[in-house]
């Protein structure tokens, strides 16, 4: 978030009662205790069976019916249009233009946070899905038949979404780094290019197929939506056990890459501000000395480290999965790799909350005051809130730290719980299931300590 | 003193690795013991 470079730590933490590293030790103890509590008291799978309870037919009709779909779709298209227009025609000052905060904070962070609680709230507002469905309906009305689509290559799975996720974060974090500000116009052009690409893919493979597999935002927000308590089935709204829908998410190839990319990119964003700042600068100097331009050197060095973060997170997860293979009765490595990928979703959410919670709280004050009244930054005052500012004292630095620690601990305990539940599916003997999860415990402790280390360095 | 303080600051990450090492060592010990028991059976 380079246009708000100190968003993670606007003020230094006051003295904590114990050193920051002791929080990592405490979090590890919480994980170990949770692990043994699960081993002792959780001896059959609880998330694998369906636990949905349909909600009232009237409520389902009101929220999922065609009028609601049209209203939500139009709102999504309108807001995307406003963001693109603001980016192209508004001020070049990133913090005064509606586009960047709306795209990279309100949507990019807001949808995961709310989806994790309520379910997939992006789907009805997805502007590309709305346009694609409207175009399909128009085609059907004119041609008298549904549009034909190519068969989506099964092996491709969610890999386009995983690569797209890396690309979005690259644009957000790396393109606009080192004094080269990500301008609102660049973000608007990127949104236009992405819109053309997405609509072309929807025309080729079908709207719902592409949303489920390749459309970055649908896949990414939908992944967090699997943790939420509301879902739909056969056009009916239903309430479900939190986290239970996550168990069926990673059945598509490339799903593990999506969740690993989420953890890795958040880690990179945090680490590039502190923990790996020196190595990045060293590589940058090598490249610059080799005659590559300064901006290109910086982007190349940061790109390299972002990919290394992806490889490192994938390696830790693979080690955990390989460890499980040593337990008698284990299924194949590929089954385990896909079968436990959903256990990383709460961790991805925990990393997001820990790294961006403060940014979200601060920037949403701007979003719903002066950016709403003056979206182009030209001095307008549509709602009388253009003169408002951001109150950085709304939460203290220590409160931010406690939220960060709590989110990491809760996220990893939830990850352990999902992993334990899945292990009971693969090993009917609960003792073997528990033995297999020693390895995931090590993975969770590693991710927790790594996350807290990144935050402690970034927060100073 | 300044040098030591600097090294201390640089090596603070070691304190975050300790819990990972303890858990990993415990798993490795249990894994080796399990293998040994299987061989003896």
> Where is pLDDT greater, at A327 or A349?
A349
The answer on pLDDT for A22 being more than 70 is yes
Distances (CA, A) of A420 to A59, A148, A269, A397, A424: 35, 43, 30, 35, 6
Average pLDDT on A100-127 reads 96
pLDDT in tens, A170-220: 999 998 766 667 889 999 999 999 999 999 999 999 999 999 999 999 999
Residues in B touching A445 (Cβ below 8 Å): 19-20, 23
Of B16, B27, B31, the CB nearest to A449: B16
Cα A106 from Cα A218, distance rounded (Å): 16
Average pLDDT on B19-39 reads 87
Please tell me the predicted confidence (pLDDT) of residue A226.
95
Mean pLDDT is lowest, of A8-12, A44-48, A91-95, A453-457, for A8-12
Residues in B touching A24 (Cβ below 8 Å): 15-16, 19
B12, B18, B19, B21, best to mutate vs chain A, most A CBs in 10 Å: B19
Mean pLDDT is lowest, of A198-202, A251-255, B28-32, for B28-32
Residue whose C-alpha is closest to residue A51's, from A238, A177, A232: A238
Counting residues of chain A whose pLDDT is more than 90, the rounded percentage is 72
Query: CB burial class (10 A; 0-12, 13-18, 19+) of residue A278?
Result: exposed
Q: Which residue of B has its CA nearest to A32?
A: B23
ipTM associated with this complex: 0.81
Contact (CB<8Å) A21/B17: no
The confidence band for A15, taking pLDDT boundaries of 50, 70 and 90, is low
The confidence band for A6, taking pLDDT boundaries of 50, 70 and 90, is very low
The answer on pLDDT for A270 being more than 90 is no
Angle subtended at Cα A8 by Cα A270 and Cα A86, rounded to the nearest 5 degrees = 100
Counting residues of chain A whose pLDDT is more than 70, the rounded percentage is 95
Residue whose C-alpha is closest to residue A344's, from A172, A226, A169, A218: A226
Is residue B20 less than 8 Å (CB to CB) from chain A? yes
Residue A449 and residue B20 in contact, taking contact as beta carbons nearer than 8 Å: yes
Q: Which residue has the tokens 């293979």?
A: A325
Residues in A touching B11 (Cβ below 8 Å): none
Average pLDDT on A422-448 reads 91
Q: Which residue has the tokens 């690409």?
A: A197
The answer on pLDDT for B1 being more than 60 is no
The answer on pLDDT for A346 being more than 60 is yes
Distances (CA, A) of A169 to A104, A187, A268: 9, 12, 10
pLDDT in tens, A403-420: 999 999 999 999 999 999
| Domain spans in chain A, listed from the N-terminal domain onward | 20-459
> Where is pLDDT greater, at B32 or A305?
A305
The answer on pLDDT for A361 being more than 50 is yes
Average pLDDT on A266-293 reads 89
Please tell me the predicted confidence (pLDDT) of residue A455.
84
> Where is pLDDT greater, at A19 or A102?
A102
Q: Are strands A230-233 and A53-54 parallel, antiparallel or unpaired?
A: unpaired
The confidence band for B8, taking pLDDT boundaries of 50, 70 and 90, is low
Q: Are strands A53-54 and A236-239 parallel, antiparallel or unpaired?
A: antiparallel
Helix boundaries (H) for A90-232: 98-101, 110-118, 127-143, 159-169, 184-205, 207-213, 216-225
Contact (CB<8Å) A21/B15: yes
Helix boundaries (H) for A276-396: 277-289, 294-325, 333-339, 345-367, 370-373
Please tell me the predicted confidence (pLDDT) of residue A9.
36
The answer on pLDDT for A10 being more than 70 is no
Give the three-state DSSP class for A126: coil
Average pLDDT on A28-52 reads 89
Backbone region of residue A235 per phi and psi (left: phi > 0; alpha: psi in -120 to 50; beta: other values)? left
Residue A343 and residue A35 in contact, taking contact as beta carbons nearer than 8 Å: no
Mean pLDDT is lowest, of A6-15, A62-71, A159-168, for A6-15
Is residue B21 less than 8 Å (CB to CB) from chain A? no
Of A21, A323, A446, the CB nearest to B12: A21
Please tell me the predicted confidence (pLDDT) of residue A179.
61
The answer on pLDDT for A78 being more than 70 is yes
Please tell me the predicted confidence (pLDDT) of residue A234.
82
Average pLDDT on A362-383 reads 94
Mean pLDDT is lowest, of A3-7, A224-228, B6-10, for A3-7
| Residue partners of A50: CB distance under 8 A and separation at least 6 | A240, A244
Q: Which residue of A has its CA nearest to B17?
A: A449
The confidence band for A125, taking pLDDT boundaries of 50, 70 and 90, is very high
């Amino acid at each position: 978030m380079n246009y708000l470079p100190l968003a993670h730590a606007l003020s230094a933490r006051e003295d904590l009662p114990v050193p920051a590293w002791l929080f990592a030790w405490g979090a590890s103890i919480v994980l170990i205790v949770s692990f043994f509590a699960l081993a002792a008291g959780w001896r059959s799978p609880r998330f694998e069976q369906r636990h949905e309870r349909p909600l009232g037919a009237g409520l389902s009709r009101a929220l999922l019916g065609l009028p609601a779909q049209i209203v939500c779709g139009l709102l999504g298209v309108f807001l995307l249009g406003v963001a693109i227009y603001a980016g192209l025609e508004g001020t070049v000052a990133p913090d005064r233009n509606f586009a960047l905060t709306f795209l990279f904070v309100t949507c990019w962070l807001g949808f995961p946070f709310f989806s994790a609680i309520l379910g997939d709230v992006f789907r009805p507002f997805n502007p590309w899905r709305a346009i694609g469905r409207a175009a399909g309906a128009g085609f059907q009305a004119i041609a008298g038949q549904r549009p034909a689509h190519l068969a989506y290559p099964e092996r491709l799975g969610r890999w386009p979404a995983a690569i797209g996720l890396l690309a979005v974060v690259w644009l957000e974090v790396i393109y606009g780094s080192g004094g080269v500000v990500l301008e609102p116009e660049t973000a608007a052009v990127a949104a236009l290019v992405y819109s053309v690409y997405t609509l072309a893919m929807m025309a080729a493979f079908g709207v719902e197929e592409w949303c489920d597999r390749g459309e970055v935002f649908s896949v990414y927000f939908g992944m967090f939506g699997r943790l939420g308590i509301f879902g739909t089935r056969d056009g009916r709204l239903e309430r479900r056990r939190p986290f239970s829908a996550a168990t069926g998410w990673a059945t598509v190839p490339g799903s593990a890459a999506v969740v690993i990319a989420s953890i890795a990119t958040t880690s990179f964003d945090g680490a590039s501000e502190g923990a790996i700042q020196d190595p990045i600068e060293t590589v940058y100097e090598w490249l610059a000395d080799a005659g590559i331009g300064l901006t290109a050197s910086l982007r190349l060095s940061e790109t390299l480290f972002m990919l290394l973060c992806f490889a490192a997170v994938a390696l830790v997860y693979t080690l955990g999965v390989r460890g499980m293979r040593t337990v008698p009765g284990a299924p194949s490595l590929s089954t385990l790799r896909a079968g436990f990928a959903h256990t990383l979703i709460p961790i991805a959410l925990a990393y997001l909350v820990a790294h961006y919670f403060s940014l979200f709280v601060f920037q949403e004050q701007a979003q719903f005051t002066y950016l709403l009244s003056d979206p182009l930054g030209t001095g307008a005052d549509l709602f009388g809130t253009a003169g408002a500012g951001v109150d950085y004292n709304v939460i203290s630095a220590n409160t931010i730290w406690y939220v960060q620690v709590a989110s990491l601990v809760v996220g990893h305990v939830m990850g352990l719980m999902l992993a334990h539940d899945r292990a009971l599916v693969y090993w009917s003997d609960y003792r073997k299931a528990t033995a297999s999860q020693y390895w995931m415990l090590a993975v969770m402790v590693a991710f927790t300590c790594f996350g807290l280390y990144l935050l402690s360095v970034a927060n100073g | 003193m300044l040098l030591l303080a600097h090294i201390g600051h640089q090596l603070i990450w070691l304190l975050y690795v300790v819990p990972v090492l303890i858990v990993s060592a415990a798993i490795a010990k249990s894994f080796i013991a399990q293998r040994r028991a299987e061989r003896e059976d």
